[in-house]
Amino acid sequence: MQTDIKSAFNSELKTQFETIKCSNEDKLAIITLNRPEDGNAVNLQMAAELSEAALACEHDASISAVLINASGRFFCVGGDVKAMLGFGDKIKQQLKKMADDLHQAISTFARMESPIIIAVNGTAAGAGMSLAAIGDLVIACESASFTMAYTKVGLSPDGSSSWYLPRLIGLRKTQELMYTNRVLNAVEAEQWGLVTRVVPDTEVFASAKDIASNIANGASQSNRNVKKLLLQSSQNSLETQMEIEARYISACAGSANGQEGILAFTEKRKAEFK
């Protein structure tokens, strides 16, 4: 079924998507990978639609958090290898186009101010593992598994995995995953620092949505500053980072939500952020 994703995020945009579904629920954008019969494999259309959806999220001021999940038994089995076979002698151009669109989506998700929460409901392989790694918070079900799998089919990694994984789990572990295609179960992925939390299979979406909703309805400027600070931290000197911290925390303190948070703390009640 087609979903008018953009009308959910921005009433001025009318493009309909077929490989993903989207909704905006009380400041929370929910994006669902929706090719369950193909393991939610990324094809040209899904890559382009993810890129467009990411832009719609970024430019909708009503959205304070984004939840990415998937329909069916798998989170995402990676790139659509069958579709690649059909590219014929245009495979280099077509695969570059697919990677470019996927990378534009990932870059937008990574750079947007709203935190990204990922719910991994099953296997995350190749580009699926890459997509899972971009989450600010990653909730995985107990039966989830993670594998790079690129070299198994004669390809090399994409989807930002060569940038995110060394930072998340270290170079040595990343080398092992990329060269050997080792499969991590959910518990191992949590121990390695790839996922935030492991929950029972039947609770993965509800748990991720609960966390995402709490963030979406929290102090939005605070959450956005957390994301920006962490994104910059590996590039800045200690003094530069502390100067940015000082600027951000003072700006938060002077905002309506900062004033409410401080007042609520002193009055020993729950803050009511807007």
Structural domains of the chain, ranges and CATH numbers in brackets: 5-216 (3.90.226.10), 220-266 (1.10.12)
Instruction: Reply yes or no on whether the pLDDT at 55 is more than 80.
Output: yes
pLDDT given at position 10:
54
Sheet holding 184-185, edge to edge: 123-125, 145-147, 184-185
pLDDT given at position 26:
86
* Maximum alpha-carbon separation in the chain: 68
7 or 168: whose pLDDT is higher? 168
Best CA proximity match to 100, nearest among 24, 41, 47: 47
For the chain, the average pLDDT equals 92
Average pLDDT over residues 27-41: 97
Average pLDDT over residues 33-49: 97
pLDDT given at position 274:
81
For 156-173, the pLDDT digits (tens) are 999 999 999 999 999 999
Instruction: Reply yes or no on whether the pLDDT at 66 is more than 90.
Output: yes
Instruction: Reply yes or no on whether the pLDDT at 127 is more than 80.
Output: yes
Average pLDDT over residues 138-148: 98
What does the DSSP 8-state code read for residue 182?
P
Asked which of 43-57, 88-102, 249-263 is least confident by mean pLDDT, the reply is 249-263
For 200-256, the pLDDT digits (tens) are 999 999 999 999 999 999 998 999 999 999 999 989 999 999 999 999 999 998 999
What does the DSSP 8-state code read for residue 36?
G
What is the Cα–Cα distance from 44 to 78, expressed in whole angstroms? Answer: 12
Instruction: Reply yes or no on whether the pLDDT at 3 is more than 50.
Output: no
Q: How far is CA 219 from CA 96, 251, 253, in A?
A: 39, 13, 11
